[in-house]
Amino acid sequence: MSQLAQQHGALNLSQGFPSFDGSPELINLVDKYLRKGLNQYAPMTGVASLREIVAQKTEELSGLVYHPEKEITITSGATESLFAAISAVVRPGDEVIIFEPAYDSYVPAIELNGGIPVFISLQAPDFRVDWSEVSDKMNDRTRLMIINTPHNPTGQVWGKDDLNQVAALIKDRETYIVADEVYEHITFDGISHISVAQHPDLFHRTFVCSSFGKTFHVTGWKVGYCLAPAALSTEFRKIHQYLTFSTVTPIQYALAEYLQEREHYLCVAQFYQQKRDFFLKNLAGSAFRWQPSQGTFFQSLSYQGLSEEGDAELAIRFTKEYGIASIPTSVFYQQKTDHKLLRFCFAKDNDLLEQAAERLLKIRW
């Protein structure tokens, strides 16, 4: 869709990246460490100062205690973290529970390791989990469950009840959790992000994968991390060591210094809520319907009842005819389930969001 947007000169609210740059202070810190000559390999597990500040941040925000040397690994983006975590535990013939719509890297990682994805389809409009269906699909081969909260593409945020359900289902099984929490700092309307690892019965089974790119508007830097108990981190690092070995050194030092100021990440939720609210306010009077996103920097718009046109076909037509690019949510389902929803990224400058809303207001059926 980004290619199509570029080809047709459309406003690109499809792919999930900001249209604005990261903080000048953070960029200056990268320059500082580049010029200090810190340009050789970082330690395989990550620069010590970055692992230490991540441990401190995690304990302050969630009460979770991870040993920076044994239980925190810096990775080349959250996608690498997810791949390494899945590879660390999935064996040929193992089954993996995936809640769809789902991020597109999960299934290839499972299948490359000989695993079998088992899909639980979340239904519009609220995209809540049918826990009886999950229970029915679990068995002695269920090795892993992948949980994404806050959730891309729906923007839903899991709560304590969801985690209690997970804990009850895997209590007597040899099942692990990969928690994709890259939008951990982006939740709205007073809703708090609860890490899967905060559940006392899930902590020792869980790899938490996150990203600095989403938090600090620098997705192109591809720096993420994995939090996991020592035994799981040991297995994780066996994959990471031969996957990327280490992650770009001067950026790690810059992030370590930047994270010392808590406001740099605590302000992110309010920043993106203003973006979401601005976008939706400007859409008032349009034909679309929506439930405000609870988290992430994505908002889904429904055209249910307005057209029977497939969402993929519609997304392409809107890009060409109205100059506004989105992502059809059916592409996040294996069976291309079509709920008549388009996903828009609002991590954009306000003038771009205003222009996008103006174009969407012109659409009638």
Q: Name the domain boundary from 225, 240, 260.
A: 260
341-357 mean pLDDT: 98
Q: Indicate if 294 and 197 belong to the same structural domain.
A: no
Q: Indicate if 218 and 312 belong to the same structural domain.
A: no
Report whether pLDDT(276) > 80: yes
| Residue-level pLDDT at 356 | 97
Report whether pLDDT(322) > 90: yes
Q: Cβ distance 329 to 17 under 8 Å?
A: no
pLDDT tier at 123 (50, 70, 90 boundaries)?
confident
Helix axes of 249-258 and 24-35: crossing angle, nearest 10 degrees:
130
Give Cα separations from 211 to 88, 120, 200, 202, 291 (angstroms). 19, 25, 23, 21, 26
pTM above 0.85, yes or no: yes
Cα separation, 304 vs 309, in Å, equals 10
Q: Name the domain boundary from 214, 233, 260.
A: 260
Q: What is the CATH number of the domain that holds 319?
A: 3.90.1150.10
DSSP-assigned beta bridge partners for residue 209 = 180, 226
pLDDT tens digits along 95-114: 999 999 999 999 999 999 99
pLDDT tier at 187 (50, 70, 90 boundaries)?
very high
| Residue-level pLDDT at 124 | 87
| Residue-level pLDDT at 354 | 98
| Owning domain of residue 291 | 2-16+266-361
DSSP-assigned beta bridge partners for residue 342 = 301, 328
| Residue-level pLDDT at 351 | 98
Give me the half-sphere count of Cα atoms (radius 13 Å) on the Cβ side of residue 160.
3
pLDDT tier at 365 (50, 70, 90 boundaries)?
confident
Q: Indicate if 50 and 193 belong to the same structural domain.
A: yes
Q: Indicate if 324 and 203 belong to the same structural domain.
A: no
Q: Indicate if 81 and 58 belong to the same structural domain.
A: yes
Q: Indicate if 53 and 186 belong to the same structural domain.
A: yes
Q: Indicate if 251 and 307 belong to the same structural domain.
A: no
Q: Indicate if 78 and 155 belong to the same structural domain.
A: yes
Q: Indicate if 135 and 55 belong to the same structural domain.
A: yes
Q: Indicate if 218 and 235 belong to the same structural domain.
A: yes
Q: Whose CA is closest to 11, among 325, 347, 357?
A: 325
pLDDT tier at 169 (50, 70, 90 boundaries)?
very high
321-347 mean pLDDT: 97
Q: Indicate if 149 and 112 belong to the same structural domain.
A: yes
Q: What is the CATH number of the domain that holds 247?
A: 3.40.640.10
Give Cα separations from 333 to 96, 98, 328, 337 (angstroms). 15, 10, 10, 6
pLDDT tens digits along 4-25: 999 999 999 998 999 999 999 9
Cα separation, 93 vs 116, in Å, equals 6
Position 149: which residue type?
A: T
Report DSSP state, residue 192: P
| Residue-level pLDDT at 364 | 80
CA pseudo-torsion sign 95, 101, 106, 108:
positive
State the total domains in the chain. 2
Q: Name the domain boundary from 260, 294, 311.
A: 260
Q: Indicate if 205 and 354 belong to the same structural domain.
A: no
Report whether pLDDT(46) > 90: yes
141-166 mean pLDDT: 97
Q: Catalogue the E-assigned strands of the chain.
A: 11-12, 72-75, 95-100, 116-121, 142-148, 176-180, 206-211, 224-227, 298-302, 324-325, 327-328, 341-345
pLDDT tens digits along 77-95: 999 999 999 999 999 999 9
Give me the chain's average pLDDT, please: 97
Q: Whose CA is closest to 224, among 215, 212, 233?
A: 212
